Structure 1
Amino acid sequence: MEATSSRGVSQNRATEDADKDQYTVNDCPIEQVRLTVPITDDPTQPALTFRTWVLGLASCVLLAFVNQFLGYRTNPMNITSVSAQIVTLPLGKLMAATLPTRPIRVPFTSWSFSLNPGPFSMKEHVLITIFASSGSGGVYAISIITIVKAFYHRSIHPVAAFLLALSTQMLGYGWAGIFRKFLVDSPYMWWPGNLVLVSLFRAFHEKEKRPKGGNTRLQFFFLVFAASFAYYIVPGYLFQALSAISIFCLIWKDSVTAQQIGSGMKGLGVGSFALDWNTVAGFLGSPLAVPGFAILNTLAGSVLHLYVVIPLAYWSNMYDAKKFPLISSHTFDSTGATYNVNRILNTKTFDIDMDSYNNYSKTYLSITFAFDYGLSFATLTSTISHVVLFHGGMILQMWKKTTSAMKSQLGDVHTRIMKRNYEQVPEWWFLSILILMAMMAFVACEGFGQELQLPWWGILLSLAMAALFTLPLGVIEATTNMRSGLSVITELVIGYIYPGKPLANVAFKIYGSMSMSQALTFLGDFKLGHYMKIPPKSMFIVQLVGTVVSSCVHFVTAWWVLTSIDNICDEALLPKGSPWTCPGDDVFYQASIIWGVVGPKRMFTKDGIYPGMNWFFLFGLLAPIPVWLLSRRFPSHPWIKLITLPIITAGASYIPPARSVNYITWGVVGIFFNFYVYRNFKAWWARHTYILSAALDAGVAFMGLLLYFALQSNGVFGPTWWGLDNDHCPLARCPTYPGVYAKGCPAMELP
């Protein structure tokens, strides 16, 4: 595809020919980048236009609203920016064909602009997609607002809540500005994930003829979207049982064990399946966009976890597992009852009352939830070990080249084009945002009666951790496409330093982990703009405005949903068939009890029930070593290097809130498309797979919204019949320890 005029191409190639002495080839030293990213640019091509603002802001607002709205449902759906990327292409071309071209002068100034500066450009399309990704990314801090209002049933000042949401999203700009010289300008920091987007943009802007007897990509998108939209009324309203069909439960209706084995929602999911795309992509994302080797690694981890480790641990009654449900994200006391956190909380100070705790019970978890934390520990250390063993030499080599290139002010062809053609974003822009957002964080946490409990030193410590980890984790992601989070580390640190404070724990976690995560997201977007030759200031403005707008929309949507739906997130009080069960926020709430109220010392040391989970740190650290040794011993077998322990250990760590039926359907669909279709119909796969994924997601999302506003907001959740309930496994949640009784469960007789 030619992205520029022939004159622009010839001028740029002539200029670049003069720089061939800097590299063996006049391009990037990374082969994958050379094969994917064009080395041409037309600086006159429009970027931040009226069309960009209209379509970009509309995409940002719509995706932020939809994703926050759907995030509270039993099967949450995240609509990615790819949907907006596809839909806005014909809209942009339509605006280019219909809007007037006459310049519009701003009164009392010499400045003017045009509603239609010419053909819809790829640069406009990139900026619109960045707007959309700001809306689709989510605001993790909203979970704090949710657990305060819906789980702890306390009030939080809306201004404090908004400042919390905005500051956690914006702090990452500071770290991004500090480290962009190394993580964006360096040709050796190549951000592999961006190459998919570059390929997609190039495919969309190539001239495409409709195949004989077939459809263009856009026609295919709208056909699938219409089918997905129309079909979802069946599993979403008329026949909700299609979201999880468990054969064992239909056969053995009175057997607790059979339902524990067969339930796709509360059990191991043997014989369970679904006919609902929302179940397939609800927690793990669309499997169509996941590489085949990653699918196999994830499934290997989930199979070992669900069908080997968990059954052995549960039926051997490890950690009194039979007193509790097989799979649950709740916390329990020693009698098997749901842990009554109000019994150990001081109502005035909202922290732990140690006398009440000592007179009540230690905190217990379902065996699956306990091992989830073990897997999280293993994932943390295995990521470090895997990256050091398999990518350490490459990262060190690239880092040396990066620092050398930075000292000599050299770069690849893309860096030279960007520095020659565009004005860079001043450093003080980033630092100003960092200082302003830090002040906002102090106001949110220290003001408003210290509702968030986190003191000023906690904010500084969380930001110091984010600053410390941004560069090394950024190098890892920029070279391996693997991102490690800081949630576990931050929970551990503040849990030991400042125990008994649930909101302080989650606020510290979010300020530490999200500012780092947002920094890497911003840097990844900057690298995409680097490859697509987007003016840096235009990219900065779009990211900044998109982040502010999406934070506002996420906050307003969450506040509206939490205050307008009765008993939201309380499954016991919700009407039958209601989808507002908040599985993700339920896990976040339980984490605030485990790490905040009770604290890691009273959970994962000899003072608690689960000190054995600490062995997972060592397991994760050592597990990649045998794979690495085998890969070196048998270099002729490249598949060995595809065994990725961090993906395996993280494989089933999403259960809960994800369910076994989500993994089963996700794996089946992923294997079918990324192995069978990929190998036998590669041309079709390359042309349609990503578009199919986006269309299916969009159809479910828009029908979900229509169902809510037309029916569910009026208390109508579906026709009352057998098909209203999914799974039909009510006994799967029952304990099996003699003498422990739960409502709706058969009593197990004492021996």
Structure 2
Amino acid sequence: MGDQSHEIPSFELSKEKSPEKFRDLTGQDEEDDSPIEQVRLTVPPTDDPTLPVLTIRTWVLGILSCSILAFVNTFFGYRQNPLGIGSVSAQILTLPIGRLMAATLPDKKIFLPFTNWSFSLNPGPFNLKEHVLITIFAGCGANGVYALFIVASVKVFYHRSLNPVAAYILSQTTMLLGYGWAGIHRKILVDSPYMWWPNNLISVSLFRALHEKEIRPKGGLTRLQFFLMVLISSFAYYLVPGYYFPYISCISVVCLIWKKSVLAQQLGSGLTGLGMGSFALDWNTVSGFLGSPIATPTFAIMNTLAGYVLVVYIIVPALYWSNVYKAKTFPLYSSQTYDSDGNVYNISRVLNEKTFKFYDEGYENYSKLYISILFAIGYGISFATLAATVTHVGLFYSGTIRELTSKAATGLKGQMGDIHTRLMKRNYKAVPDWWFHGILIVVFGLSLFCCEGFGGQLQLPWWGLILACGIAWFFTLPIGIIQATTNMQPGLNVITEMIIGFMYPGRPLANVSFKTYGYISMTQALGFLSDFKVGHYMKIPPRSMFLVQLIGTLISSSIQFATAWWLLTSIPNICDPAKLPKGSPWTCPGDRVFYNASIIWGVIGPKKVFTKDGVYGNLNYFFLIGFLAPIPVWYFSRKYPEKKWIKLINMPIFISGAGGLPPVRSVNYIMWGAVGIYFNVYLFQKFKGWWAKHAYILSAALDAGIAFMGILLYFALQSRDIVPDWWGQESDDRCPLATCPTQPGIRADGCPVF
């Protein structure tokens, strides 16, 4: 690895002259700023440590935002059309409220009884650091509690009882375990200037636009004026795809021309096919699944698109039309499970209702489990991506990890990083390690009590919890490095399901509990670290960040659990469309997907699916493919260091290119890639000044406009079933034949028989 191990394989960094230097990890002089160009263009290398942070405004507006978002997102998450409100809404709305409080509240000190503590009702002008912490609070409320999927599966799908105390502890511990992994890895994933978390630059740009005073250039707009202009335009325009004309969210041209051809619609459908010729006129289609392409580095966009093209336009068609895995018996694109005759898999025939375990005799008399070819390759991609992540990080970043950990251990903190790291270390006290370790010990103890106590309702034994925690701890660093440099996060959901499925088969609740403790605690850790990096860029005291995140998580988890438990116990037949009144919105689409996964991995188990006993055993070769894939790239990048394009090949991102399919659709990839190339290749090269000032602001404004219009439409019209009745209201792309099986003799509703 040597002297190249610290480099980020993204693009050639431009160097700006500066009289001040700092020494990087290899002992070379660097500018007194970030080595990442996007960070230099976005984050100011300054700080004002005198600004008040944990003010009464921070607590009131932060807790209020967290509570409202936690309740609203959970309440509407069980409906047919879930409503998700992100923290950007609170980021915008709390600004005028904070300034109003600063303008109207008296400057009066309040003393807390029986203590020497006091606070002012009005500590001065509403400042940027207060606003950042309020938004962090809101982000805690916007993040869903994944464990609530387990609660819904037990109560409404498996129709079994669950102790509410056990369910509450499960909800809290799965969210809090991540603090432990975040504390262990934060010196590498936050302090290092090469871990730059691209998506955070959108938040930084918006905060600066909202707070910094700027003189309007002649014939132009300030950043705030530009943001408001785009926000209003996005808000007004989303009335069209979000309510009046949803059809333009995916227009599949091929299907409009060949209306009776199954092949043409399989190739052309942007929703249930390969998406050739499909496009959209909706920003939500661009960023809704894959995130903002503007915040994704160019090399990551190119790797993703290359992997997508290889899988979707070469591998999947070759396998489907060769009828590998009986692929023609099932739809080309589907996340459903099927039997050998092409019918939806009847789970009741293989699950013993009394023992709540797998029913071998029923399975032998029924059918092996089948999935669509695209879904099957998606699982293979998941296997390969994880293996490639471990190899890639080991080859390209082991030197960085050794340097950072050794310098931290020997106290040479002044040589670890850029101007932002040094400002943080000079002006603020770091969070003590024992804070993180203490939370980890307490939360692990509660998790153990939750799994082993309450009559073993979760089915997960103590050794399963330890193994899940070990997996989360191990993968937090390599996956964190990938996310911090590419804006992409490989998931652990599939590998955790597979591991416990092999080791403890036939127990669906053990499977989903293991997945939640292993996968979500890692995801939470990366979320905490990402927020810490926002605080790092905005110069928020780390201890204040820690306190806000911890309290926000506790409040959010409690409110979301209470809301979910209330809905699941008070609405008759919730999540069961067959028994709900006609037109009832309480269909729980997300919970049903989670339940289906628990059947595949927990009831039937991977041994019956991904070994010689099942259909998809040879997908395990993807582990080997992924493990070996980064080695040639690393070898040639060292052999030919002058060929910088080799370093741009990131095999974990390349392999995972099409890994989101399903539920991500082809049209999402196509539009995401087109927008990303236009902004981060063309505009970044040709109009870098405009890009630096406006690109991230544009992304934030488009997201905010959609969020506000989505809220208005939902509460004012859609929640009351007030919708226009015309053909443009259809949210599909008019490709009904794209889901038809093409195996001779297989029948499906609305499809020709071949």
- Establish whether TM, by shorter chain, passes 0.5: yes
Residue 658 of structure 2: SS of its match in structure 1? coil
Q: CA deviation at 1:170?
A: 0.7
Q: For 1:188 and 1:273, locate their aligned partners in 2 and report how far apart those are by CA, in whole Å.
A: 37
Q: CA deviation at 1:369?
A: 0.3
Aligned to 1:118: 124
Deviation string, structure 1 residues 41-63 (Cα, Å, up to 9, x no partner): 54432011112123323443454
Q: For 2:682 and 2:340, locate their aligned partners in 1 and report how far apart those are by CA, in whole Å.
A: 49
Change (3 A) 1:613 1:501: same
Of 637, 647, 653, 2:643 maps to 637
Aligned to 2:243: 237
Q: CA deviation at 1:293?
A: 2.3
Deviation string, structure 1 residues 380-422 (Cα, Å, up to 9, x no partner): 112222223333344444444343336x998667677656654
Change (3 A) 1:29 1:214: closer
Consecutive unaligned residues of structure 2, counting only runs of 5 or more, are: 1-19
Q: Which amino acid aligns with 1:657?
A: P
Aligned to 1:737: 743
Change (3 A) 1:352 1:135: same
Assess if the C-alpha contact under 8 Å between 2:468 and 2:515 holds in 1.
yes
1:262 aligns with 2:268: yes
Q: For 2:461 and 2:674, locate their aligned partners in 1 and report how far apart those are by CA, in whole Å.
A: 48
Residue 181 of structure 2: SS of its match in structure 1? helix
Aligned to 1:140: 146
Consecutive unaligned residues of structure 1, counting only runs of 5 or more, are: 1-15
Change (3 A) 1:570 1:271: farther
- Using the TM superposition, name which of 569-578 and 634-643 deviates more: 569-578
Q: For 1:687 and 1:373, locate their aligned partners in 2 and report how far apart those are by CA, in whole Å.
A: 40
Q: For 1:72 and 1:302, locate their aligned partners in 2 and report how far apart those are by CA, in whole Å.
A: 32
Aligned to 2:5: none
Of 494, 499, 511, 1:493 maps to 499
Q: CA deviation at 1:612?
A: 1.5
Assess if the C-alpha contact under 8 Å between 2:83 and 2:711 holds in 1.
no
Change (3 A) 1:651 1:52: same
Q: For 1:119 and 1:290, locate their aligned partners in 2 and report how far apart those are by CA, in whole Å.
A: 35
Aligned to 1:369: 375
Residue 388 of structure 2: SS of its match in structure 1? helix
- Using the TM superposition, name which of 449-458 and 63-72 deviates more: 63-72
1:169 aligns with 2:175: yes
Mapping of 1:593-612 within 5 angstroms?
A: 593-612=599-618
1:529 aligns with 2:529: no
Deviation string, structure 1 residues 506-538 (Cα, Å, up to 9, x no partner): 110110122233233324433543554433332
Q: For 1:88 and 1:219, locate their aligned partners in 2 and report how far apart those are by CA, in whole Å.
A: 18
Q: CA deviation at 1:280?
A: 2.0
Assess if the C-alpha contact under 8 Å between 1:221 and 1:691 holds in 2.
yes
Q: For 1:635 and 1:712, locate their aligned partners in 2 and report how far apart those are by CA, in whole Å.
A: 57
Change (3 A) 1:220 1:559: farther
RMSD across aligned C-alpha pairs, in angstroms?
3.8
Q: Which amino acid aligns with 2:212?
A: E
Aligned to 2:384: 378
Q: CA deviation at 1:584?
A: 5.4
Q: CA deviation at 1:379?
A: 0.7
Change (3 A) 1:561 1:732: farther
Aligned to 1:457: 463
Assess if the C-alpha contact under 8 Å between 1:395 and 1:475 holds in 2.
no
Change (3 A) 1:534 1:131: same
Q: CA deviation at 1:557?
A: 5.2
Deviation string, structure 1 residues 151-172 (Cα, Å, up to 9, x no partner): 5565545443333222110112
Assess if the C-alpha contact under 8 Å between 2:300 and 2:486 holds in 1.
no
Residue 651 of structure 1: SS of its match in structure 2? helix
Deviation string, structure 1 residues 190-216 (Cα, Å, up to 9, x no partner): 555487355665565432123334443
Deviation string, structure 1 residues 59-102 (Cα, Å, up to 9, x no partner): 43454456556766889786554554455445434433333223
Aligned to 1:334: 340
Residue 334 of structure 1: SS of its match in structure 2? coil
- Using the TM superposition, name which of 156-165 and 613-622 deviates more: 156-165
Assess if the C-alpha contact under 8 Å between 1:55 and 1:128 holds in 2.
yes
Mapping of 1:136-535 within 5 angstroms?
A: 136-148=142-154, 151-152=157-158, 156-180=162-186, 190-193=195-198, 196=201, 201=207, 204-405=210-411, 422-470=428-476, 483-530=489-536, 532-535=538-541
Residue 306 of structure 2: SS of its match in structure 1? helix
Assess if the C-alpha contact under 8 Å between 2:47 and 2:539 holds in 1.
yes
Of 612, 625, 629, 1:619 maps to 625
Q: CA deviation at 1:378?
A: 1.1
Aligned to 1:6: none
Aligned to 2:8: none
1:703 aligns with 2:699: no
Q: For 1:666 and 1:139, locate their aligned partners in 2 and report how far apart those are by CA, in whole Å.
A: 27
Assess if the C-alpha contact under 8 Å between 1:293 and 1:642 holds in 2.
yes
Q: For 1:192 and 1:237, locate their aligned partners in 2 and report how far apart those are by CA, in whole Å.
A: 34
Assess if the C-alpha contact under 8 Å between 2:490 and 2:656 holds in 1.
no
Q: For 2:601 and 2:401, locate their aligned partners in 1 and report how far apart those are by CA, in whole Å.
A: 34
- Using the TM superposition, name which of 378-387 and 673-682 deviates more: 673-682
Aligned to 1:100: 106
Aligned to 1:54: 60
